[in-house]
A = this chain, B = another copy of it.
């Protein structure tokens, strides 16, 4: 029986335990939502999924089906096994944080993916040792031939998803990115909820 989807509330985070071999499906419920994604070795939270350690091995800026994400000890931690979202994700950008929104002119507190990660981990009794650079699912950051980058709206569609196989017992954490100044959550600048299953 398929597991009931868990909600990643709009502008918030959510974390869960995943056993080696289980499949995590991350669903872009409304189609335009970036989901920052982290994975931590449950036995040692200081070992975590690392974009800068994954790229030299997969030899791509964006993983495709079959690619293995690695930890900061270069061990396989998640494998991308299915992707119905159009295949556009990001591995280049840090999670948004309080400093980012100040830079963008926001003078009061703004929800952000860094705080969402730490709150989600605490909700299940854990403390993330730092904020690793996340796998930004559905996030559209084209790298142009002149090496310039830009923040664009997702190409994913409502209900599209990626499936990730856990390569070790791990804690997965998500943030439904609250970015509403740049158009990365769609041209409507409206962050929404997303969902995930573990089975």
Q: Which residues of B contact A56 (CB under 8 A)?
A: 93-94, 100, 149
> How far, in whole Å, are A168 and B92 apart by their CA atoms in the complex?
25
> How far, in whole Å, are A7 and B148 apart by their CA atoms in the complex?
34
Q: What mask results when residues 99 to 112 of chain A are scored 1 for a CB within 8 Å of chain B, else 0?
A: 11001000000000
B147 touching A62, Cβ below 8 Å = yes
A74 touching B99, Cβ below 8 Å = yes
Q: Which residue on B lies nearest to A143, using beta carbons? A: B143
The answer to whether A61 and B92 touch (CB under 8 A), given A100-B74, A143-B143, A147-B143, is yes
Q: What mask results when residues 23 to 62 of chain A are scored 1 for a CB within 8 Å of chain B, else 0?
A: 0000000000000000000000000001111011101111
In the complex, which range does the number of interface residues on chain A fall in?
20 to 34
15 residue pairs bridging A and B, Cβ less than 8 Å apart: A52-B52, A52-B93, A55-B149, A56-B93, A57-B103, A59-B149, A60-B147, A60-B149, A61-B92, A61-B147, A61-B149, A73-B99, A74-B103, A133-B133, A143-B143
